[in-house]
Amino acid sequence: MAATKTRNQSTTGLEWLRARMDKLGYGSLEEVAREIGINRGNLYRYFSLETRPSVALLPDLCAALKSSPAEILKALEILGPNDRL
């Protein structure tokens, strides 16, 4: 039986990324990665929490995903849900 998500559970980095992609009209990870200037594999690894992006990449992530630095860092689980910059 598949586990169901409760209201209090936060979304994963990949779930957050997919929701942003849908909202912004991106059709694939490749499109987002191209906009940022990185390869699709690295983008996937960042949001699946396998590795962290460099700080220098944060402005490009924010621009492509039209999100604040805090939103990106929370999705990447670098900041906690209640943390602020």
pLDDT tens sequence for the chain (85 residues) = 444 443 344 579 999 999 999 999 999 999 999 999 999 999 999 999 999 999 999 999 999 999 999 999 999 999 998 888 8
Record the pTM. 0.82
Instruction: For the chain, list the domains and their CATH numbers.
Output: 13-75 (1.10.260.40)
Residue 57 to residues 9, 26, 33, 37, 63: CA-CA distances in angstroms? 28, 19, 11, 9, 10
Residue 54 to residues 18, 24, 60, 74: CA-CA distances in angstroms? 21, 24, 11, 15
